[in-house]
Amino acid sequence: MHQSARSYEELVERLVEWAETRPDIRAAVIVGSRGRVDHPADEWADLDVILVTTDKERYLSTTDWIGNIGNPLLTFLEPTAWGGEMERRVLFEGMLDVDFSVVPQESAHKLIRAGISQQTARQIADTFGRGMRVLIDKDGMLERLRALVSSIEAPPPGQPTQDEFLEAVNDFLYHAVFTAKHLRRGELGVAGTCCNCYMQRLLLRMIEWHARAKHGWNYDTWFRGRFLEEWADPYALEGLREAFARYDKQDVGRALLATMGLFRWTATEIASKLGYQYPTDVDEHVSEWVRDCLLTMETSNPR
């Protein structure tokens, strides 16, 4: 066992010992890479813990309880990626990263009792379906949840409609113009952030659709680009090498054009496979304008 794994196990042991003495903590479960068999945790993985409690605010608004688990260097709050709750992220000594998702007991019971919609089933499958390691289950709710998860046939992410596809394309092309305008204005931070962040998220969605259109709509593209190198098209992976920019005017312009080219290839492949219309005329018009805009920038502002 790697040293980091032993260190995380020590944190888990202290967590269990402490939580057993807290009547307000009803359950604790590990999810994510340290709870799954497929693509299990490596030495760089964090620890994702869901705490089910009758006193949600205590664990979100105070930090004194963290010292019962380990020696924290820092902590902060952020929304969870999977269901509208909040999580407390903690960096413990040794650079051990633990995410505590704090879930009210009432919400957990409601989830188990209520009928499961397709959207909820997808969220449950993404969170628990890849594996879970129960630490504490004082009321037996996690065993009921485990049974629920095993009974769910979560629908694969749906094929986009023609309208959803066009919405994504139009969003991307709009922000290509947005990026070029801010670059010409001299707002390098805004332009670079839009190219490297917002437009890349739209490109990732298209790469996911492309992979599923190619391999079938139940093809596993994981979540937020996880294991992208395993499931994405090799051409898309190669194109991504040129799709990110340094903090430099010319380089943001170069990356913008590379990102637009990769997005166009991916989107037109999808349109062909699904029999959808791709707005070729709009793309050509926008692309010509962006290229002219960047060319003018280079001639008027040489290095």
Question: Tens digit of pLDDT for each residue in 71-91?
Answer: 999 999 998 865 567 899 999
- Predicted local confidence at residue 132, as pLDDT: 81
Q: What is the mean pLDDT of residues 231-250?
A: 97
- Predicted local confidence at residue 131, as pLDDT: 73
Q: What is the mean pLDDT of residues 46-57?
A: 94
- Predicted local confidence at residue 125, as pLDDT: 60
pLDDT tens per residue across span 126-157: 666 577 888 999 988 877 777 766 665 555 66
Q: What is the mean pLDDT of residues 206-216?
A: 96
What integer best gives the mean pLDDT of the chain? 88
Q: Which CATH number fits domain 162-300: 3.40.30.10, 3.30.70.20, 1.20.120.330, 3.30.2010.10?
A: 1.20.120.330
Give DSSP secondary structure letters for 165-187: HHHHHHHHHHHHHHHHHHHHHT-
- Predicted local confidence at residue 127, as pLDDT: 61
Secondary structure of residue 279 in the 3-state scheme:
coil
- Predicted local confidence at residue 252, as pLDDT: 97
Task: Specify the CATH class of 3-151 in words.
Answer: alpha beta
- Predicted local confidence at residue 205, as pLDDT: 97
Domain boundaries, the chain: 3-151, 162-300
Alpha helices, DSSP H, located in 114-248: 118-124, 141-151, 162-185, 188-193, 199-215, 228-231, 234-240
pTM for this predicted structure: 0.78
Do 3-151 and 162-300 come out as alike in CATH topology? no
- Predicted local confidence at residue 144, as pLDDT: 76
Q: What is the mean pLDDT of residues 113-128?
A: 57
Query: Could you tell me if 188 and 252 are in contact, meaning their C-beta atoms sit under 8 angstroms apart?
Result: yes
Residue 197: which residues within 8 A CB-CB, separation 6 or more? none
Query: Could you tell me if 259 and 270 are in contact, meaning their C-beta atoms sit under 8 angstroms apart?
Result: no
User: Environment class of residue 18 by beta-carbon count within 10 Å: exposed (0-12), middle (13-18) or buried (19+)?
Assistant: middle
